[in-house]
Structure 1
Amino acid sequence: MSYSLPIADAPQSHTHMRRQLAEPQPKICLCTLAEQLKLDQVTIIGNASGEWQPAAEGLTFIFNGTQWSQQNAPQGQVVNIANGGFAESQYAFEVQGHPQAVQLAKALTQVATELTASLGCWPSSGLTTVVLMLQLAKHVQVQRMSLLPSLRRSIELPDTHHLPCMVHNWLGERRIAKTLLRDRLDWPEFTLMPWEPMSKDCETDKARETDSSENKQTLCEDPFEQLELLRQSNLASRLSEEDKHRLRQHLAKLAHTPYHIWQQCADHSKLKASEPLFFNHLPESQTSPWYLMDYHASQYLDAIRHQLAYCQQQLAD
């Protein structure tokens, strides 16, 4: 199983967002805004791959980077949400294509600021828009968005460059999104299927060397306790290549741990404690976990994080 391209805010935009947190804008009343907008149907299109068309009814929201043709939609039916860092806006977002654009940008910034406390970092534009639209519209449909973009690095990406999606707490976003699921929210791509074991075709040469038969054995240990080794490795000032090789083996072992083992050990507190292992919201000024920047180690992260997200999905509230 693979994940599509992320809804990702560019690195430079997060400096801009830190200013927003330091200098919050006056709050607006979302109930009043809802009365002004009178939105019945809203469709939110994420930046993952796949074909899409503007909704036949109501507004369709897209994000900077989404490709579309204006000929396919009536005037004013498609609204673009851009990161304020790109648009040089005083707000963290700029809305294009709607008469109430300024108010919507303020509302998005307000919601994102409130979400930051629960996530430990600035939220993605996708989650922010979903949370806001559930307060403004009667019915919301979400497409091309799972809130679980891939952390797998490509071989061409320099080891000094971080993936744009790495700045968001996606497990935390899914934790919040799970509480929003209701009849008036149509979001089929949010629901995960069980993880399919990594195939040999998807693994690198280094990964194949790492995967001994011992790694594929059913583990008796609590995998959440095993995750603690990653947390400890983040505290080390420097890791040798020998240490990294050992930890890559450890990641491979976790990536092949069957779902039922994770499920037996999972609870809400363990899942929430695992969230900080998979993001760095300030990669320009804060050292990133080594495995997020390491090509070979990153090949295992999607499998591990999917197991965590699936446990999160299956646990009763």
Structure 2
Amino acid sequence: MKQGRSRDFLTAYHPPGRDALIWGVRVLDAGFEAFPPGKPYPAKEHHPAPYLYDWEKGRVFSEYQLLAITRGGGILETATCPHLALQAGDLFILFPGEWHRFRPDPATGWDENFVGFDGDYARHLMHAFFTPGEPILRGAATEETVALIRKIAHHVGDTSPETAPLVFADMITLITRLVLFTRVNASSECRSARLKITAAREQIIARAFQRIDFRRLAASLGMSYTVFRRLFQKETGHAPLAYQLETRINRARVLLQQTDLSVTEIAHQTGFSNVFYFSKMFSNRTGQTPTACRRITGSNRDPHVKPSLRPKD
């Protein structure tokens, strides 16, 4: 591990422990540093070779990096975004495999707070909510966010095994804060679209076992079907019809597990035209037939509890 401390900086680098694989989060480096006007950037004495770079050549990381600027300003350039101005209050994201370079304005310098991380779960979250086309979150370097980054930096600097779960939990909290920040500060157009998709989801759930005309539903929300379908899939991960089908299958699974209704009756109650189509869809979605689902569940039931002949509310 390499670590440096002073009143103006703290950096910590060390290999992630075994628990990182279990949690799906690996914090690789974290710290904060002040760069007054004219100070060379980056500070070579505080960082290992992989984190240093030549401005002309730029650099590529294999992990994510978050940097929050709390004073001063500078510039960021990436393979996707040629030239972006940075100012106090901005937080920017460096993406794995994305060429980049950044530095403070020599006339102002800047104060930065950073954390580098990886891991399957962390990558899943970042890929789902952030894009290289929008690497800067304007105003996201709030007091709470910066305090959390500094907390992570101090914990990373402590090599005792008891701190590892705290680091993982704080890292997920940090990502979650940034996701919420982007949603709260989205444009009015984005908020309006999200509200419409929420309304559509509620209607689909309420009418899940009926036939739904999705083009008419889109029109009732003031959207073309093409736009509606794209936004719905982006928000939910499913196309509208697939979302309705998942709702039906989930309800069918509950009825199979908690009632003695026949498979035919369950198919009818969950909106399928016939039992054969229901069985096919159920098998495709769950990997088991309705009968097998009931058999497996039945073997795990409490023998003293008799299942109801009617669905539970």
Q: What is the TM-score of this pair, normalised by structure 1?
A: 0.24
State the structure with bigger RCO (CA 8 A, min sep 6), 1 or 2: 1
Structure ID, larger Rg: 2
Q: What is the TM-score of this pair, normalised by structure 2?
A: 0.24
